[in-house]
Every structure is written in structure tokens, then in C-alpha cells.
Amino acid sequence: MADEIVEIFTDGACSGNPGPGGWAAVLRYKDHEKQLSGWSSQTTNNRMEILSAIRALEALKRPCRALVHTDSQYLKNGITTWINGWKRNGWRTSSKALVKNSDLWQWLDRLCSAHEVGWAWVKGHSGHDENELADSLARKAIEDGLSGLLQEDVIGRSLKVQFSEPPC
């Protein structure tokens, strides 16, 4: 892996929780920048936070070093600390409850194993330029999705909604 690091700034947003949600990621490598965003019609903020990291890591073209900046303690702690116990406990919490969003956590875990990923927490809505950009992209994705301008990212839907519809 090269010494250079891909800087990734992620955010998730929800209009109601649950409700329509958006995710966004800003990827920077040297002098290149890529902005990604998507939306789901019925989801939670936490699912959008995880999905923003998934979509960012999926966009990497080869194994590399990446530093993911997030304003979500849930995302950062989930992938750096809690996930080890969840895996050991068969995707159950210490209180034996099923881990929420385990489908996305498992997907994110697989993606992280293909790269060397570091995680950094930033305070949300505090003037951090890249975090503010990711937030505005996520909110715009909700707006565009509800207006019919953006196709839905159905993976972000809450599982109850995903499985209540017939597969096609």
C-alpha cells in the first residue's frame, strides 16, 4: 500500500428518525476530490452514517490507506471497538440482543479488511469545512430523492421496510 492516505469525510442525515435519510462522503487524494451521496426513503440516521462509510470505501479503486472522518460516535465506536465483541458474540450485544444494523456493520467490516482504515471523530455542526460539506450533500440527497431527482439507495432502508416488500 502506498504511503499516501485517502482522506474521507462522511455524514448521514435523516428527516425524522426514522424517515427519509441521506448519506454523503467526500474523498480526497492528493489534488483529487470526489463527492458521493445517496438517499433512502425510510431509514434511520445511524444507517445513513454507516452507509456513508460503506459507499466511500466501495469507491476506492484499489487497497489503500484511508482515514475516515465522521461526526458519529456510533459509527466510530462501532467499527473500532464494539464490533469485536459483536463478532465474538455472534452479532449479539453484551445483553444478548441482536446488534442493530448488523447487515451494514458486517458489510463495512469486510470493506475495512481490504484497506488500512483509520477513524477520526470530528464534532458535527462546529464549522469543520469538510464535515459541513458532507452534511449539506446528505441533506441535498434527501431533498433530491424526495423530488424524484435521485434514485433511491435501497440498501439504506430500515430492515423492516426492506423485507416487507417483495424482492424483484
Catalytic residues: 11-12, 49, 71, 125, 135
**Of the candidates 27, 28, 79, the residue with the CA atom closest to the CA atom of residue 50:** 79
DSSP state of 97: P
CA 139/CA 21 separation, integer angstroms? 8
Cell 492516505 sits on residue: 5
How long a stretch of residues is the chain?
Answer: 168
CA 66 to chain centroid: 14
Cell of 56: 466511500
Q: In what order do the strands lie in the sheet with 65-70?
A: 32-43, 19-29, 5-14, 65-70, 116-121
